[in-house]
Amino acid sequence: MSDFFGSPSSPPPSSSPPASPTSSKRWTVRGVRVSGRQLAATALTAVVALAVFEAVHTVSSPAPTAGHGGAPPGAAASVSGNSGPAAARGMNVLLVGLDARDGVTAQQKAAFHLGGAACHCTDTMMLVHVAENRRRVSVVSLPRDSLTRIPAYTDKKGKAHRSRTAKLNAAYAEGGAALTMRTVEQMTGLHIDRFLPVDFARFMKAVDGLGGLDVCTDRPLKDSATGLDLPAGTTRLSGGRALQYARSRHVDNQADFGRIQRQQKFVVSFVKEIADDGTLRSPARMAILASVLLPETTAVPTERAFTVKDMVLLARDLRNIGLDSLEFSTVPVKGFVTVKGVGSTVAWDAAKSAAVFRAVRADQSLTTATAAMPAGHRTVARRNEFVPVKGSELACP
């Protein structure tokens, strides 16, 4: 990587289709010229640990009561009250990947199979908890088709909507960030401190700004729906190809659960990429990068927005975080449930998921949620299991 104010980054890998922007492009950010690689470093920081900007010192909220809140059969227990659970120790961020295609060019749509209609819903969802002592980051993936009950709400036109049974990803499409956070808070009993949405265009721009990103697989991966075609081994991907990798769910019989595992590996690769470039140790770089990532207006669709100061403090607190300090898992599920008017949904295991979120609320490692784990020790979870894995175990060799 070039020096922060030095020459532009090298272009992305030659295998990258021309539809994806090149990392030699430079952005003018409020009077400062910034390279693509620097922009990506900020986006990555946001993707993984955007939560850490200052310690939260509040009293832990009580664990949710099973069945409370009128949850549908198979859905996780919910917590009543429009204000949501009280904040607990540490910081909780809800990271979502949006199926939104604003800013995606016609060439990119053709090259990376992005020509379908956007649902403007959450295609990916991760609950990111940063420990109060800033020595651990825990990530729990929430399947997009999770069975839930969307709380009653009033839309922007003033129309009142009753609470209803739905898939989790419908919350954003109906009520944006605020309704999504309320829904997840009801399902988990956790207070959401910050919300970070990442759409297709920002995703591709971030990876291209890095000059590409390494992903590894022990067998070839192909998905006709996204156009993904990866050989076994380690491959350097451009932004568009990385998006294909992150979106693909038809490469094995694991469907969305296999995709979740690949997305977690992608996040680890992204973190590893910027861990060595010094970005997190430079307040000046972070201030400029934050001004690239964060909007200049109040257009962010949530009241829980970040500031440049937040991002600088995040960098300070995460400067010594390593891959062994990251842990990943998927919420434990009971199976698939077909609901009339909703379709095939993923039902959480109420008892086991409650154990997971009790550990998060107590600011403890996911490995302490032993009641949620399968009998015997495994480092790879089956699609209905909760098995925490360190980031170092997901990294490419």
State yes or no: pLDDT of 74 exceeds 70: no
With beta carbons less than 8 A apart as the criterion, state whether 325 and 136 touch.
yes
Q: CB under 8 Å, gap of 24 or more: what pairs does 251-258 form?
A: 251/221, 251/222, 251/223, 254/383, 255/383, 256/143, 256/144, 256/145, 256/346, 257/143, 257/330, 257/383, 258/383
pLDDT at 2: 33
The pLDDT, as a whole number, for residue 28 is 37
Q: What are the chain's domains?
A: 26-394 (3.40.630.190)
Tens-digit pLDDT profile for residues 40-61: 334 444 444 333 323 222 223 3
Q: What is the pLDDT of residue 167?
A: 96
| Amino acid identity for residue 61 in this structure | S
Helix axes 170-188, 350-361, angle to 10 degrees: 80
Q: What is the pLDDT of residues 126-155, one digit of tens each?
A: 999 999 998 999 999 999 999 999 999 998
Q: Which pLDDT tens digit goes with each residue over 316-369?
A: 787 788 899 999 999 999 999 999 999 999 999 999 999 999 999 999 999 999
Long-range contacts made by residues 368-373, C-beta under 8 angstroms, separation at least 24? 372/332
Q: What is the pLDDT of residue 294?
A: 57
Q: What's the whole-model pTM score?
A: 0.78
* The pLDDT value given to residue 187: 97
Mean pLDDT, the chain, whole residue set: 76
302 neighbors 357 (Cβ within 8 angstroms): no
Q: Cβ neighbours of residue 354 under 8 Å, at least 6 residues apart?
A: 63, 64, 66, 76, 77, 189
- Asked whether 276 and 52 are in contact (CB, 8 A), the reply is no
pLDDT tens figures, 252-296: 877 788 889 999 999 999 888 877 766 667 677 666 556 555 544
